[in-house]
């Protein structure tokens, strides 16, 4: 278990029914204005340090009162001026109504709903990640000031999207540890906006620690699944995003995961009694339970001698420290930092424009035969829109959603952009299940036969992939494959396939069909998704998104069980491995794939050819050493820079993500290649820009050995940027 003074591990996750409530005053402790006697308590004294205030507060509580602070619905202590506080709120991609700590009302009827995380991650824009976090926390604080939201938000989800069938993969930044790490740290920094170590705007929570990525696959449940993971995979794949959240993002909390480390009594039967389960959880570092288990069984655990009051003190001290940093014990929040925020700061035009921009930046153009896109509206008399997702609203915002400011559906977005064209809108299926009962193939084919351009918008929704639901295959749901193929055959003009989903699909049938001119993946694009799709299709915005996950063929899931947690391939059994770093099989589309309406060229300006470590290591190399332990002091401040020139050689302005990968020597079952860094820039036609990647050799280029220890491989390493390759030797 991970431990730290200023963050806590959350326990059993529960779902509750939500209700609408009217506006009320904000919830806070130490209302000295209303009750001047509270001023005598040190824990209400803002001039004291957090530790002193927490110590004073804990010392004033009875044991029963202390136990009430171990659960998400924390108890009230009226004699000390402390109201009940609800810890559970969510802000995965906007302030959410999931969790009882946040509600919408007539005063604040909605909040900005950004694209689902997987699409925002496809922008590969760390500045965007942080900016979204800042907007979300501003709206959260505004709602808190009118009594509609808490201050603790259980986001982001930084689990690795290991298997394409995972229902919650949509919530994550994808399959790459570096991207997930940078997303987590950036979003947390934006949410918390902590200019001082002991202050927080809101408290973020990185979840779910660790190696959690299964819901319910063929009857195997997350509550009972035993995730068997090697130390090597834990170190170099599953844990880096959590380390980055804590070290780089200074996240306020970490939530533990759904695997055999979690529901250890009721489902796992790890202990014989609930009291033993409560005791071992708290002693292992669990500070807060999303549920009532700890409030029900901690007292008995103490009475049985399994737990001490000091153990409870440590747990609630961490919780109180977080609340102190949030200003919860500083009196009326309207008179503190962020106190002027209110309903007018929610759903502002700037915030809604950012939601649109985020969707534009994330959308990925996967195929564009013969420059078919962008479309020319002046040459399109009739446009056919076909597919179950052509006019969806809630589908666009994914899960862990809130009520959005407004929706722009694909039909609305394309209608507004195609004002000179006749629109033929035919769903083809009544919903994404696209069953035989709701199949409208003939009407769809007739529309395509009349249209100059046919846009098919297909894919998934939360009935197909969500928390508690994994997919069993990678085909488009129901009859959607048939819909796409038959409409394509019947179409008179260009056919564009738009896929709305969290996870990937095997669309090789469309990729290989010359009659399908273009393919886009639009994720779950948020409240402004329809406008973003139209802007990309008609060239108002040049696509620059890149896939944050590998798109595997159906054959992958036919032979690889979802329960196999191994990242590395096993040639002896034919196991192909997982993610672009290790996978050895065929792909439909690769991690990082994505096209633009312009072209970019890369030129290497400067990079070292040799990186030398201290000569005292030479003897070990002479003895056949292939790697060195990076934990030793010699491996500090071993740095170099890679300088690149990037040129937009096309005729359109556009954004471009520069990826720098490296391939290490073949030791310790090293990755085939690994992302060292990425930078996004925007260039006008024929313009050039410079990108500098700073490389910390022992941090960025080290490997995990079979025992999970960090090693620096000696020998030839290859850096990759686009079509460029550069070899450098690390030696002694």
| Same-domain status, 368 and 487 | yes
Residue 255 lies inside a defined structural domain of this protein: no
Give tens-digit pLDDT for 683-696. 999 999 999 999 99
Residue 11 lies inside a defined structural domain of this protein: no
| Same-domain status, 280 and 412 | no
CATH number of the domain bearing residue 548: 3.40.50.1700
- Distances in Å between the alpha carbon of 407 and those of 396, 414, 500? 9, 13, 16
Residue 234 lies inside a defined structural domain of this protein: no
CATH number of the domain bearing residue 632: 2.60.40.10
Residue 162 near residue 552 (C-beta atoms within 8 A)? no
- Select from 525, 556, 587 the last residue of a domain: 556
| Same-domain status, 372 and 509 | yes
> What pLDDT score does 634 carry?
77
- Select from 523, 556, 589 the last residue of a domain: 556
Query: With bands split at pLDDT 50, 70 and 90, how would you rate the model's confidence at 8?
Result: very low
Residue 329 near residue 323 (C-beta atoms within 8 A)? yes
Please state, in angstroms and rounded to a whole number, the distance separating the CA atoms of residues 510 and 461: 20
Predicted structure pTM score: 0.95
Residue 152 lies inside a defined structural domain of this protein: no
Give tens-digit pLDDT for 366-400. 999 999 999 999 999 999 999 999 999 999 999 99
Please state, as a whole number, how many other Cβ atoms lie within 10 Å of the Cβ of residue 195: 9
| Same-domain status, 457 and 535 | yes
Average pLDDT, rounded, for the chain: 94
The strand pair at 453-459 and 494-500 is best described as parallel
Give tens-digit pLDDT for 633-642. 778 789 999 9
Residue 583: how many CA atoms within 13 Å on its side-chain side? 22
682: CB partners within 8 A, 6+ apart: 653, 654, 655, 656
Give yes or no for a cis peptide into 151 (omega within 30° of 0): no
| Same-domain status, 385 and 508 | yes
Print the domain residue range for 265: 33-85+260-325
Give tens-digit pLDDT for 479-513. 999 999 999 999 999 999 999 999 999 999 999 99
Residue 307 lies inside a defined structural domain of this protein: yes
Residue 162: how many CA atoms within 13 Å on its side-chain side? 25
Please state, in angstroms and rounded to a whole number, the distance separating the CA atoms of residues 670 and 235: 13
> What pLDDT score does 623 carry?
58
Residue 254 lies inside a defined structural domain of this protein: no
Is the per-residue pLDDT at 14 higher than 60?
Answer: no
The DSSP element (H or E) to which 655 belongs, if any, is strand 654-663
Beginning with the edge strand found earlier in the chain, give each strand of the sheet holding 724-731 in spatial order: 610-612, 724-731, 715-721, 654-663, 674-683
| Same-domain status, 484 and 627 | no
Give tens-digit pLDDT for 398-444. 999 999 999 999 999 999 999 899 999 999 999 999 998 889 999 99
Residue 635 near residue 198 (C-beta atoms within 8 A)? no
Give tens-digit pLDDT for 78-108. 999 999 999 999 999 999 999 999 999 999 9
Is the per-residue pLDDT at 9 higher than 60?
Answer: no
Residue 316 lies inside a defined structural domain of this protein: yes
Residue 530 near residue 409 (C-beta atoms within 8 A)? yes
The torsion angles phi and psi of 447, rounded to 5 degrees, stand at -65, -45
Q: Which of 293, 187, 233 is nearest to 707 (CA)?
A: 233
Is the per-residue pLDDT at 1 higher than 50?
Answer: no
| Same-domain status, 432 and 551 | yes
Number of domains observed in the structure of the chain: 3
Find the mean pLDDT for residues 244-260.
90
Please state, in angstroms and rounded to a whole number, the distance separating the CA atoms of residues 83 and 118: 37
Residue 353 lies inside a defined structural domain of this protein: no
Return the DSSP state at 272.
Answer: S
- Select from 274, 309, 325 the last residue of a domain: 325
| Same-domain status, 402 and 484 | yes
| Same-domain status, 432 and 532 | yes
| Same-domain status, 713 and 637 | yes
| Same-domain status, 393 and 503 | yes
Query: Alpha helices, DSSP H only, in 670-730?
Result: 697-700
| Same-domain status, 388 and 477 | yes
């Amino acid at each position: 278990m991970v431990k730290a003074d200023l963050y806590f591990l959350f326990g059993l996750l529960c779902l509750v029914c939500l209700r609408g409530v009217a506006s009320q005053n904000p919830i806070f402790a130490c209302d000295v204005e209303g009750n001047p006697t509270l001023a005598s308590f040190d824990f209400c004294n803002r001039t004291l340090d957090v530790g002193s205030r927490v110590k004073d507060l804990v010392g004033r509580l009875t044991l029963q009162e202390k136990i009430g602070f171990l659960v998400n619905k924390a108890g009230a202590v009226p004699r000390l001026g402390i109201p009940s506080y609800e810890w559970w709120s969510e802000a995965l991609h906007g302030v959410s109504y999931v969790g009882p700590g946040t509600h919408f009302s007539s005063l604040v009827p909605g909040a900005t709903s950004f694209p689902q995380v997987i699409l925002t991650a496809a922008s590969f824009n760390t500045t965007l990640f942080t900016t979204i976090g800042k907007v979300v926390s501003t709206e959260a604080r505004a709602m808190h000031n009118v009594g509609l939201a808490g201050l603790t938000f259980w986001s982001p989800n930084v689990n690795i999207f290991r298997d394409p069938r995972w229902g919650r993969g949509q919530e994550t930044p994808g399959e790459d540890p570096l991207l997930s790490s940078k997303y987590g740290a950036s979003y947390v920094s934006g949410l918390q906006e902590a200019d001082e170590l002991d202050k927080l705007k809101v408290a973020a929570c990185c979840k779910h620690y660790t190696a959690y990525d299964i819901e319910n696959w063929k009857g195997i449940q997350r509550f009972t699944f035993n995730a068997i993971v090697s130390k090597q995979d834990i170190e170099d794949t599953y844990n880096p995003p959590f380390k980055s959240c804590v070290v780089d993002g200074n996240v306020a909390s970490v939530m533990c995961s759904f695997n055999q480390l979690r529901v250890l009594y009721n489902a796992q039967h790890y202990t014989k009694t609930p009291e033993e389960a409560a005791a071992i959880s708290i002693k292992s570092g669990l500070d807060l339970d999303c549920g009532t288990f700890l409030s029900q069984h901690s007292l008995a655990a103490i009475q049985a001698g399994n737990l001490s009051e000091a153990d409870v003190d440590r747990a609630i001290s961490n919780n109180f420290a977080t609340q102190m940093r949030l200003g919860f014990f500083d009196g009326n929040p309207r008179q503190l930092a962020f106190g002027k925020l209110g309903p007018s700061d929610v759903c502002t035009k700037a915030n809604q424009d950012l939601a649109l921009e985020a969707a534009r930046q994330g959308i990925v153009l996967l195929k564009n035969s013969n420059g078919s896109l962008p479309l020319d509206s002046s040459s399109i008399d009739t446009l056919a829109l076909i597919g179950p997702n052509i006019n969806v609203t809630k589908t666009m915002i994914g899960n862990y959603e809130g009520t959005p400011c407004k929706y722009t559906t694909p039909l609305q977005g394309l209608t507004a952009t195609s004002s000179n064209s006749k629109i033929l809108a035919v769903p083809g299926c009544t919903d994404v299940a696209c069953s035989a009962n709701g199949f409208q193939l003939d009407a769809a084919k007739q529309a395509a036969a009349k249209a100059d351009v046919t846009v098919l918008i297909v894919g998934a929704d939360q009935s197909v992939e969500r928390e508690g639901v994994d997919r069993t295959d990678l085909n488009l749901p129901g009859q959607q494959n048939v819909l796409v193929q038959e409409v394509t055959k019947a179409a008179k003009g260009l056919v564009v396939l738009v896929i709305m989903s969290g996870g990937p699909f095997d669309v090789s049938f469309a990729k290989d069909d010359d009659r399908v001119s273009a393919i886009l993946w639009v994720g779950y694009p948020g409240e402004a998704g329809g406008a973003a799709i139209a802007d990309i299709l008609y060239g108002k915005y040049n696509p620059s998104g890149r896939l944050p996950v590998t798109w595997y063929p159906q054959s992958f899931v036919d032979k690889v069980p979802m329960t196999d947690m191994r990242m590395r391939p096993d040639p002896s059994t034919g196991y192909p491995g997982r993610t672009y770093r290790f996978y050895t099989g065929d792909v439909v589309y690769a991690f990082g794939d994505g096209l633009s309406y312009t072209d970019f060229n890369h030129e290497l300006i400067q990079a070292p050819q040799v990186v030398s470590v201290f000569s005292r290591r030479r003897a070990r190399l002479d003895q056949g050493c292939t790697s060195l332990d990076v934990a030793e002091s010699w491996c500090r401040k071993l740095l170099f820079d890679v300088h690149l020139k990037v040129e937009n050689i096309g005729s359109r302005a556009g954004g471009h993500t520069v990826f720098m990968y490296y391939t290490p020597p073949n030791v310790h079952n090293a990755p085939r290649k690994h992302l060292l860094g990425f930078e996004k820039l925007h260039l006008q036609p024929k313009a050039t820009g410079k990108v500098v990647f700073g490389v910390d050799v022992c941090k960025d280029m080290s490997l995990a050995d079979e025992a999970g220890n960090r090693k620096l491989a000696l020998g030839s390493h290859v850096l990759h940027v686009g079509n460029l390759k550069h070899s450098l030797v690390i030696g002694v």
